[in-house]
Amino acid sequence: MAPPVKSPFARGSRGFLLVEATLTAVVIGVGLVFISRSLAGNLKQLSTIQQYDRLLQLAESTLAEVEVQAQHAPPLTARAGEYESPNEAYAWTLEMNPLALQGLAPQSMTEVVLTVSRRDERPPVIRLHTVWPTVWLEAHSP
């Protein structure tokens, strides 16, 4: 004779109860919410890092161009500019401040500050500071 078949609802059955299944679904759901929030935060941070990287690339290339101009076609004055496509969302400003450094002739060095930012004034902003000889910035007499 065949052994009797137990009902799935009988005591001692090894299946999941409805309460256990619901609790498992809630735990999994809460875990997925935390994972998705973490992923969203990481994507936002990645976007910010990409913006800083783009700003830094633009700032370094602009400073190199301005340095070449300063050495070959002075005088160089404070100025501002905008980038062409595909960087039209960014703009730059160049400021110059005379420095008084101990042991050097007065105003022989100039601090040059290049600021690159989005045109809509949203962060992030990159500022590069450098020190150049003042003779780079003055007009050469023929």
Domain positions in the chain: 18-136
The pLDDT of residue 12: 55
Residues of the chain with pLDDT under 50: 140-142
When the candidates are 3.90.1200.10, 3.30.1300.30, 2.60.120.200, 3.40.50.300, the CATH number that belongs to 18-136 is 3.30.1300.30
The pLDDT of residue 108: 78
The pLDDT of residue 58: 93
Q: How far apart are CA 108 and CA 27, in angstroms?
A: 68
The pLDDT of residue 134: 79
Q: How far apart are CA 1 and CA 118, in angstroms?
A: 84
Over the stretch 82-111, which tens digit does the pLDDT of each residue have?
A: 999 898 889 999 998 888 777 767 667 888
The pLDDT of residue 142: 45
The pLDDT of residue 106: 65
The pLDDT of residue 11: 56
Q: How far apart are CA 98 and CA 132, in angstroms?
A: 10
